[in-house]
Chain A
Amino acid sequence: MKFIYTFLIVINILNFNLLKADEIKTENEIAKNLRCLICQGQSVYDSDSEFAISLKLVIKNKIQQGMSEEEIYSFLKMKYGEWILYDPVFNKNTYFLWLLPILIFLVGGAIITRKFYYKK
């Protein structure tokens, strides 16, 4: 009986650890996708500024409250604007940025096909 009891406790603790590990993982993932506003060229994850430390704490609290990753991003976007996100959203200011690689790819592909097939 005692053995089962201890076994259950151990299982419980292990489970709890897994949950915690998951939380920390998403926490870090979110922090890596955020720009530290007062330290140029650093993510919130990398920075140890007062702002970044607080922001990491906020993310942790929000996850514990059950907010999803997307919800946290939109919350921060509302507070600080789009500049805080490293991943720019597709809109009229950024469509050039998003479409340029595809455009270059297509042009390159066109040049290659011309060279290889039309010469024959």
Chain B
Amino acid sequence: MSLQQARPPLPSDDKRWKLVNATMRRNGYAGHALIETLHSVQDAFGFLDEASLRFVAASLDLPMSKVFGVATFYHLFTLKPKGRHACVVCTGTACYIKGAGALVERLHERYDILPGETTSDDRLSLLTARCVGACGLAPAIVVDGDVLGKLDSESLIAKLEELN
């Protein structure tokens, strides 16, 4: 008789769960695949909710406390859904020297959100990053995956206003 618990059913028939399951299967459902699995949940769903954490914990046979501990330890994982658009301000040293702090302040004034928050209409999330490695373009901003360089706050806001 195997001591291995039966694997839990998929939380819903959303096809994205199959991607998550594939990651775990590729790693033989080993506990050390936890971070890889959380990456794959976040890639598929955009964030980690309680249902997904419980599913991962049960599948990898790990206590929920450990899964929650790892999910909240690493900055890249987020437990809150993001807005439709994401604006990431790089706050690496080179960008800081060139005024990234002022950009964050101006965005706060304009949209009333702090880094990590989303506007109440779910339109825009403001995030900060520790160096996106585009120091030649400082201050660097990543809007929906596109790196924009050497922007001042007014042209950045103009860009953000263009998003629908």
Task: Say whether A associates with B.
Answer: no
Residue ranges of A at the interface with B (Cβ–Cβ < 8 Å)? none
Residue ranges of B at the interface with A (Cβ–Cβ < 8 Å)? none
